[in-house]
Amino acid sequence: MGKMFTIDRKKYLILPHFKFIGNKIIFLDKYKYFVANKNSTLNYAGKIDFLLNEGVIIRKRAKKKIGKRGGHKILVIEPHPDDFALSASGFVLNKKYRDVKVLNIFSKTLAVNFPWGNKFLIDEDDFETMRIRESEIAIKQYFGLNFESLRLPLAQKRGHRNNFCTQKIKSEGALVKVLSQKFTSEIKGHNYDILLCPLGVQNHIDHIVAFEACMLAYKKISKQNNKFQLIFYEEYPYARNKKSLFERLKYLNTFLKLEKTFVDVSNHLQTINNAIMIYRTQFDDINSEQMLNLIEKDFQAVFSEEITPNKNEPRLLQRYYKLEKIL
For 28-59, the pLDDT digits (tens) are 999 999 888 776 667 888 889 999 999 999 99
Cα gap 66→96, rounded to integer Å: 8
Cα gap 244→22, rounded to integer Å: 48
139-150 pLDDT tens trace: 999 999 999 999
3 confidence band (pLDDT: 50, 70, 90) = low
pLDDT of residue 86: 97
DSSP string, 252-267: HTTTEEEEEEEEE-TT
- Prediction pTM value: 0.93
51-95 pLDDT tens trace: 999 999 999 987 665 555 678 999 999 999 999 999 999 999 988
306 confidence band (pLDDT: 50, 70, 90) = confident
CB count in 10 Å sphere of residue 257: 12
Q: Compute the average pLDDT of residues 2-9.
A: 72
DSSP string, 92-149: HHTS-EEEEEEEEEEEE--GGG-TTTTT----HHHHHHHHHHHHIIIIIIIS--EEEE
Beta strands 256-264 and 317-326, pairing class: antiparallel
Sign of CA dihedral 297, 109, 186, 175: positive
67-78 pLDDT tens trace: 556 789 999 999
pLDDT of residue 308: 66
pLDDT of residue 67: 53
DSSP label at residue 183: H
CB count in 10 Å sphere of residue 222: 16
pLDDT of residue 63: 67
| Contacting residues for 8 by C-beta, under 8 A, at least 6 apart | none
Is the model more confident about 99 or about 165? Answer: 99
The residue extents of the domains of the chain are: 12-59, 73-326
283 confidence band (pLDDT: 50, 70, 90) = confident
Q: Interior CA angle at 28 toward 22 and 33, to 5°?
A: 55
40 near 84, Cβ under 8 Å? no
Q: What mean pLDDT value characterizes the chain? A: 91
Percent of residues, the chain, with pLDDT higher than 90: 76
Before 314, cis peptide (omega within 30)?
no
- Angle in degrees, 0-180, between the axes of helices 44-53 and 288-306, rounded to the nearest 10: 60
| Contacting residues for 43 by C-beta, under 8 A, at least 6 apart | none
Q: Which CATH superfamily is domain 73-326 in?
A: LmbE-like (3.40.50.10320)
270-280 pLDDT tens trace: 999 999 999 99
If DSSP codes are grouped into helix, strand and coil, which group holds residue 55?
coil
220-268 pLDDT tens trace: 999 999 999 999 999 999 999 999 999 999 999 999 999 999 999 999 9
